[in-house]
Chains A and B, each alone.
Chain A
Amino acid sequence: MTAPTQSMGNPSSEGWFGDFGGRFVPEPLMPACLELEAAFTDAWADPAFHAEFESVLSSFGGRPTPVSECLRLSEELGIRLLLKREDLAHTGSHKINNVIGQALLTKRMGKTKMIAETGAGQHGVASATAAALLGLECTVYMGEVDTKRQALNVFRMELLGAKVHPVTSGSRTLKDAVNEAMRTWVAEVDDTHYCLGSVMGPHPFPWMVREFQSILGREARGQCEKILGDVPDYVVACVGGGSNAAGIFSGFANSRAQLIGVEALGGAAIASGIPGVLHGMMSQLLQDEAGQINEAHSISAGLDYPGIGPEHAHLAATGRATYATAGDDEVLDALQRLSRTEGIIPALEPAHALAWIINEAGRAIPTGSTVLLNMSGRGDKDVAQVREILQAKGLYQ
């Protein structure tokens, strides 16, 4: 089977990837979006900015992260499985790439404060980390429900000197944290940058965050060439908003590799979504007949998002990437299996991508295929929750 090759190009001047993207924000924020677009365009064309970005990511962020071969699990599945080890980056996930880029940009724009939204807390912890490194004030908006589910991450952010603002509006989860961060940005835009955590939101965020995450895709492409002498047959990543997937896909979009994004079954914007506008972008959304946004529900707070980045909606529409789903139970199985066979406890988010690979090895993925999984984060943040669930199911005493 030959996959179409098509690179992930830049969006149109108004931020459109095909029929998705754009800039749907209240007028008070439009000047800030335009300013940010100009600042990013200028910085990204400046070799000095790239040099600083890459230098901080290597001396502080732990880049490049390795690619590991899964010897035992590969043998069990009859495929050759490689992992891009973003779980080994500082703060435990790929999120550090984006926040270092945006924090450097914040300083370059002459702003002194960052605000960020977070669901499980990964992006919040990463933002607090980047703010501490660069001497910026940081406030993280987090749904009240999530502050209770992820109390240790609240403590981590506070240790790092950030303020955590519990959001009590709406469903009190990630979607509402984004709303509240946007509302705050309207009021404080003069000295504050909104450090959005994924390839979502109004232009230029989907493009800019992909560009900051593309470093992991470029690394992985070179590493695969060395290990395999070729690109892998499949590149697989989990998708909530879709930043880790955008990063790794961008390294392989112009190759023959098949690109697979795996969403949580209860948050499948591509599978069950309908086009619409939320959080400043046109994309595929979970919504009802009238256009009210529905909540996403899954075991993983990081994938509990009712939308998806607009470029993913575009890649799905053009067929360049395919989007699948994984349910909570198979995700728990995948997490335990990788832990036992490879000595790597994955976060619940990439465990979705692994669950799809385990299900499809020998089926949609022919035996003997080479598969690269983006191991976007480590499982430390999830072990307490996983233990509770396994205990409740009687699978762990």
Chain B
Amino acid sequence: MSRPHLETHLRAKVASGGKLLVPYLMAGQSDDWLDTVQALAEAGADAIEIGLPFSDPIMDGPVIQQAAVVALERGTTPESALRELATLDLDIPLVVMTYYNLIFRAGHDRFAGRLAEVGVSGCILPDLSLEEMDDWGRAASAAGVDTVLLVAPSTSVERAQMICDRSRGFLYAVGRMGVTGERAEISHQVAEVVEKVKPLTTLPVCVGVGVSNPAQAAQVTGLADGAVVGSALVRRLLEGAGPEGAASFIASLRHAIDQRG
């Protein structure tokens, strides 16, 4: 497994003047989800977030909730998803996004070790707060896995500084107060949260939650280093877009982002 490491890869891209595009899909949401991951990489993704389905995803809106239901009904478990990811041949890093109970149940060291074994170099756990992350953080560092932390519009500057200091890989800026999902417009909170964190860190800052189409991706990457796109892609996949449809959507985002730059 010679996939590049998350933070190294993203920092290099930003240093060379590029903007980051990080699509999200749910592991096991369709039979061809692995082909979709491959297709997204070829369509211009800089890293890919892989959701591991959890029964009670409190940070997610209806689309990603539905994808989790479908994936769980198809029998997806954290281990089955990781086993399948290990078979991929990719030249971009993978990041797992899920909820803390799955990690706590598996055991911190065991889970971090498995991520490293299957070539996943980052992990996002939205319900693991800064205050409670010490045990996981130690296990992840020891395994060489970056833990990406979230900063929200509601986060104070003092708190944002502590989060920036602990985050690895990139900083996930939540682009609006709300759960994941497509929105008609980019919130004014994107500019506020990016302005808040930019002076605090040299990490790449990627905006997620509410980035829905090429124009919005271009708008967001005008402010930040990158965009995370989840629900808009997951909805297309739930509607049967398949690897080709997913690739063409991500290529359209890539094009819009690069045109702007």
Contacts and interface: CB of A to CB of B under 8 A. Distances in A.
Interface of A: 14, 22-32, 169-170, 175-176, 179, 182-183, 186-190, 274-280, 282, 285, 287, 289-293
Contacts of B56: 170, 175-176, 179, 278-279, 293
Contact of A293 (B101, B159, B179): B101
Contacts of A25: 58, 127, 129
Nearest to A293: B55
Contact of B59 (A26, A32, A275, A276): A26
Contact of A24 (B79, B128, B156): B128
B179 A27 contact: no
B123 interface: no
B126 A183 contact: no
A30 B155 contact: yes
A290 B105 contact: yes
B155 A290 contact: no
Contact of A183 (B61, B151, B153, B155): B61
Given A30-B130, A277-B127, A170 B55 contact: yes
B127 A280 contact: yes
B127 A276 contact: no
Given A30-B129, A31-B159, A169-B62, A291 B179 contact: no
Given A31-B155, A189-B154, A280-B127, A291 B178 contact: no
Q: Which interface residue of B56, B62, B104 has the most chain A CB atoms within 10 A?
A: B56
Interface in B106-164: 106, 126-132, 149-156, 159, 163
B200 to A, nearest CB: 14
A290 B156 CA distance: 35
Contacts of B152: 26-28, 30-31
A290 B79 contact: yes
Q: Which interface residue of B65, B129, B177 has the most chain A CB atoms within 10 A?
A: B129
A292 B105 CA distance: 9
Contact of A187 (B100, B106, B177): B177
Given A290-B77, A291-B106, A27 B129 contact: yes
Given A22-B132, A292-B72, A183 B174 contact: no
Q: Which interface residue of A23, A282, A289, A290 has the most chain B CB atoms within 10 A?
A: A290
Interface in B75-107: 77-79, 99-106
Nearest to B178: A187
A186 B130 contact: no
Q: Which interface residue of B65, B79, B131 has the most chain A CB atoms within 10 A?
A: B131
Contacts of B54: 291-292
Nearest to B77: A290
Contacts of B79: 290
Contacts of A26: 58-59, 126-127, 150, 152
A289 B75 CA distance: 13
Contacts of B126: 26-27
A28 B131 contact: no
B101 A14 contact: no
A24 B100 contact: yes
Given A27-B129, A179-B58, A292-B55, A186 B101 contact: no
Contact of A277 (B104, B153, B177): B104
A242 B178 CA distance: 29
Contacts of A287: 101, 105
A183 B106 contact: no
A189 B79 CA distance: 36
B105 A291 contact: yes
17 contacts: A14-B132, A22-B132, A26-B58, A26-B126, A27-B129, A27-B130, A27-B149, A27-B150, A27-B152, A27-B154, A27-B174, A30-B129, A30-B152, A183-B178, A275-B104, A291-B106, A293-B55
A351 B56 CA distance: 30
A97 B51 CA distance: 41
Given A26-B152, A28-B155, A183-B60, 17 more contacts: A24-B100, A24-B127, A24-B129, A25-B58, A26-B150, A27-B126, A27-B151, A28-B150, A29-B154, A31-B155, A31-B156, A32-B154, A170-B55, A179-B58, A187-B177, A279-B56, A279-B58
A49 to B, nearest CB: 25
A282 B50 CA distance: 25
B237 to A, nearest CB: 19
Contact of A291 (B57, B104, B130): B104
B31 to A, nearest CB: 20
Contacts of A189: 154, 177
B50 to A, nearest CB: 16
Contacts of B65: 169-170
B159 A30 contact: yes
A26 B62 CA distance: 17
Contacts of B57: 179
Q: Which interface residue of B62, B72, B101, B174 has the most chain A CB atoms within 10 A?
A: B101
A58 to B, nearest CB: 37
Q: Which interface residue of A25, A183, A293 has the most chain B CB atoms within 10 A?
A: A183
A23 B100 CA distance: 12
Contacts of A290: 77-79, 102, 105-106
Nearest to B69: A170
B85 to A, nearest CB: 16
B105 A24 contact: no
B155 A186 contact: no
Contacts of B102: 290-292
B214 to A, nearest CB: 25
Contacts of B150: 26-28
A67 B225 CA distance: 65
A2 to B, nearest CB: 36
